[in-house]
Chains A and B, each alone.
Chain A
């Protein structure tokens, strides 16, 4: 078991009270597993990703444990987490485009980063060159400034940097969203390559694009309003979704050949609830076409088929 998250709660402090962005989330990620984490904006997926590596000043760890390779991750303790970041847990941030220091040549930037973590750059240099080749970058990029690279090249460079020390867990936050379709495909395949070559053990790919995550993930987690709605192996989640929210998310995706004039696709009416004071019971209740009296109680997250978990009273 590579990653184990148990009843994790991380809230944001705001002037108007605490926003329960992550409110009791439990799941496991196996060694070598590539998990897609999907949901609408504001469902808590980026908060979950950030919580596993660095809580920012507004975030507060309220409850729950995280275990990586059998060791507890002290996510509430910024100082102690320093020993895990980059080496055990690493992230490709949402805006990889602007993640690199513009005033440094890329080679120097990488060297400084390694030294700050007590690594000797010379010891990693050969591996760095191999990794560049792996993602299709020339060694010359190390002598360039970030601004001299295209968006797709920057994205791949950040992927090389983030995974250079072979972290056990890689969090990729919306890494493909800002890219063109062909670059998107190359970046997605690079993520698979990093996993297949055992550079990283497990990967969490955060995205709102279900059709992309369907291409490369082994399993998919769907989040809604700070909680897990459904988790299943990729094919099961897409072919036999059990949660009404998952079904509606899938139905909102344009399929090949569907045209407005012939068949009108449906969005999900309404919007996610405010997490300042979230409603009791199932949080999807107000938007759910299947809601009934029982939904006033919070549904548990239960296994309904092998490795297929869902939090919906109608699915049990």
Chain B
């Protein structure tokens, strides 16, 4: 469905763009229907840049991104709109994804104007309610409310519902749970799991390895813009091959298993 072949992204940085920064180098990966691919990396690893390139928000410097075999680089106008009917993104900070002076459900209303201008009031409302039900939101609790009246989890689920209204086939989820509480996180993850069972392909971008493992079929570990390890998630998490993956996994805090405590050397001449 989605395919990246040797994708590279260069930025010009410094005064007058005198220097070149390679944010993403020669990345290839594939997302199939009903598959969750976890793209894991630290800040600055280029993982969000990859998400933005897939969503056609940033151009590709080298290589190709193709969806159903068609290179997305040339998409514009109605072809791009058709692409967005299949591919949508949800980002890290739900609070900044809404305009605070409008009611939160306006974000759904905008979709209607663009994509379903001829849909009747009744049919639209049914569609909205079905989408809200899929993300387990009570329409009465969220419709007509302003963003500040809703919790982070509710806002984030509303954004997923917005993506679902379009009947998308691929969701780019960029750190969508890192701002949420542990209990809300699991709700959103379970929701993605249910959507996956319905055939949705998900690119799950995260720096949190423990959450990457819960849901994903394939793990792609990114370090300084390059893929250092990739494979079935269970294998990558249980038997990491690359030293970078191993060091990342060793830093993840787990319950019932404590980090090795470094011996604290007695300070010499510490005044205290």
Contact = CB atoms under 8 A, between A and B. Distances in A.
Interface of A: 40-42, 127, 130, 151, 166, 180-185, 188-189, 192-193, 196-199, 208-212, 214-215, 238-239, 248-250, 252-261, 264-268, 271
Most chain A CB within 10 A, of B43, B213, B255, B267, is at: B255
A40 B183 contact: yes
A266 B233 CA distance: 21
B238 A257 contact: yes
Interface in B167-199: 181-187, 189-190, 193
B209 interface: yes
Contact of B187 (A214, A238, A239, A267): A267
Given A193-B264, A214-B258, A238-B255, A254 B207 contact: no
Given A151-B43, A212-B253, A256-B254, A185 B185 contact: no
Interface string B151-165: 110000000000000
B211 to A, nearest CB: 6
A196 B248 contact: no
Contacts of B181: 40-41, 208
Contacts of A264: 190, 193
B234 interface: yes
B264 A182 contact: no
Interface residues of B, number: 44
19 contacts: A180-B43, A193-B264, A197-B270, A197-B272, A198-B272, A208-B181, A210-B182, A211-B210, A214-B253, A249-B182, A250-B255, A252-B183, A255-B254, A255-B256, A259-B233, A260-B214, A265-B189, A265-B190, A267-B186
Contacts of A185: 251, 253, 259
Contacts of B208: 181
Interface string B254-269: 1111110110100100
Contact of A215 (B237, B238, B253): B253
Closest 3 pairs (CB-CB, A-B):
A267-B187, A180-B42, A268-B183
Given A42-B151, A181-B209, 20 more contacts: A40-B181, A40-B183, A41-B151, A151-B43, A181-B207, A181-B248, A182-B251, A184-B253, A197-B264, A197-B272, A210-B255, A211-B254, A238-B256, A249-B183, A253-B182, A253-B210, A254-B189, A255-B256, A258-B214, A265-B214
B252 A181 contact: yes
A196 B264 contact: yes
Contacts of A253: 182, 210, 255
B42 A182 contact: yes
B247 interface: yes
B152 A254 contact: no
A268 B180 CA distance: 13
Contacts of A250: 255
Contacts of A151: 43
Nearest to A216: B259
B29 interface: no
A210 to B, nearest CB: 7
A247 B151 CA distance: 23
B271 interface: yes
A256 B270 contact: no
Contact of A197 (B184, B190, B214, B267): B267
Contacts of B186: 252, 254, 265-267
A208 B180 CA distance: 9
A252 B215 contact: no
A24 B211 CA distance: 35
Contacts of B258: 214-215
B271 to A, nearest CB: 7
